[in-house]
């Protein structure tokens, strides 16, 4: 029996769902009674694209009050988005995952309104269900790293200066001049980003080109996520790209950017209070039950 098969066998009979936000896909594990805290091995098995269900990450749906690491958010949010990267590690936040998580809460009847909050490792996040079905997440205020240095990102022999942004996941944003340069990047291996002291827990790396003139506020990106690899979309990455682009463009404090990702398009807005909002689609596409091999 493979290690993945053994890990999935521990979850036999568990009902799970599959969903995505602009192609960034997730396995959702409803766990209202706290019976399935999930080990890293179980997460890796669920996320494996050949021996599991396949996903960029796993979203465990847990009660905030029963989750010690976020129990202080229970007054604001009933449900905790226990997000894990595909390699079993945790992350502070996942913007696309948050939209899918919110879509599940509404579709399942766990939330009945169009506005509510969810608990995350990055803090409670306000959710708004839009009239067209899109989901908007308040991603909080973007910050810079504590280490004041210019990060450098390398892919193979090429290197670029980058902009560091925390949303609250750490990101390094690289602007490229030509669309062909973006398309030609080989992101099958993780880009190297330094100085190491700036990113002690790893970093997501975004590569960006403009679409049209700067005043059109429209960009296109690719992303390599820590613990996952290249993905079709990254919500926190799109937010980091907007913050970096707005800084380069000397944009107003209140501004919105359209961000094209390989899996679709999202809109990122910076409000007057500096909070960043991420808006885009979210879909639940399947329900499954974990079974052991015959």
Percent of the chain with pLDDT over 70: 98
d(CA 46, CA 36): 13
Is 226 known as a binding-site position? yes
pLDDT digits (tens, 9 = 90+) for 191-201: 999 998 999 99
Query: Exactly one of 8, 91, 94, 276 is catalytic; which is it?
Result: 94
Mean pLDDT of 59-88: 98
Rounded Cα distance, 247 and 245, in Å: 5
Task: Determine if residue 143 is labeled as part of a ligand binding site.
Answer: no
pLDDT at res. 2 = 64
Q: What is the pTM of this model?
A: 0.95
Is residue 239 part of the annotated active site? The answer reads: no
Binning the chain into helix, strand and coil, the percentages to the nearest 5 are 20, 40, 40
Residue (of 16, 7, 10) closest to 285 by Cα position: 16
* Per-residue pLDDT tens digits for 10-37: 999 999 999 999 999 999 999 999 999 9
Q: Which of 28, 91, 155, 234 is catalytic?
A: 234
Summarised one tens digit per residue, pLDDT across range 201-247 is 999 999 999 999 989 999 999 999 999 999 999 999 999 999 999 99
**Residue 204 is labelled as binding a ligand:** yes
Mean pLDDT over all residues of the chain? 95
Is position 95 annotated in a ligand binding site? yes
User: Does 21 carry a binding-site annotation?
Assistant: no
Bond into 168 cis (ω within 30): yes
Note the pLDDT of residue 63: 98
pLDDT of residue 142: 95
pLDDT at 66: 97
Q: Which residues contact 191 (CB under 8 A, 6 or more apart)?
A: 153, 154, 155, 205, 224
Phi–psi pair at 5, nearest 5 degrees: -65, -40
Structural domains in the chain? 3-139+282-289 (3.10.310.10), 152-273 (3.10.310.10)
């Amino acid at each position: 029996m493979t290690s993945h098969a053994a890990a999935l066998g521990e979850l036999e009979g568990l009902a799970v769902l599959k969903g995505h936000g602009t192609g960034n896909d997730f396995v959702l594990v409803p766990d209202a009674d706290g019976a399935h805290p999930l080990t890293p091995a179980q997460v890796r098995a669920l996320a494996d694209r050949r021996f599991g269900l396949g996903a960029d990450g796993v979203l465990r749906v847990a009660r905030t009050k029963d989750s010690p690491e976020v129990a202080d958010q229970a007054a604001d949010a009933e449900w905790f988005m226990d997000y894990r990267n595909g390699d079993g590690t945790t992350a502070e936040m996942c913007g696309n995952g948050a939209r899918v998580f919110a879509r599940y809460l509404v579709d399942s009847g766990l939330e009945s309104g169009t506005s509510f909050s969810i608990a995350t490792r990055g803090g409670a996040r306000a959710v708004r269900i839009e009239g067209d079905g899109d989901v908007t997440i308040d991603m909080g205020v973007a910050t810079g790293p504590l280490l004041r240095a210019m990060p450098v990102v390398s892919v193979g022999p090429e290197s670029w200066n980058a902009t560091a942004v925390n949303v609250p996941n750490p990101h390094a944003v690289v602007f490229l001049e030509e669309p062909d340069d973006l398309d030609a990047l080989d992101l099958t291996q993780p880009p190297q980003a330094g100085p190491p002291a700036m990113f002690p827990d790893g970093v997501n790396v975004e590569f960006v080109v403009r679409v049209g003139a700067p005043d059109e506020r429209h960009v296109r990106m690719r992303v390599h996520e820590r613990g996952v690899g290249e993905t079709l979309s990254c919500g926190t990455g799109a937010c980091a790209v907007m913050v970096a682009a707005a800084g380069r463009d000397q944009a107003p404090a209140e501004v919105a950017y359209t961000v094209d990702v390989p899996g679709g398009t999202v809109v990122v807005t910076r409000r007057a209070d500096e909070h960043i909002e991420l808006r885009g689609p979210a879909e639940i596409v399947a329900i499954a039950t974990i079974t052991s091999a015959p």
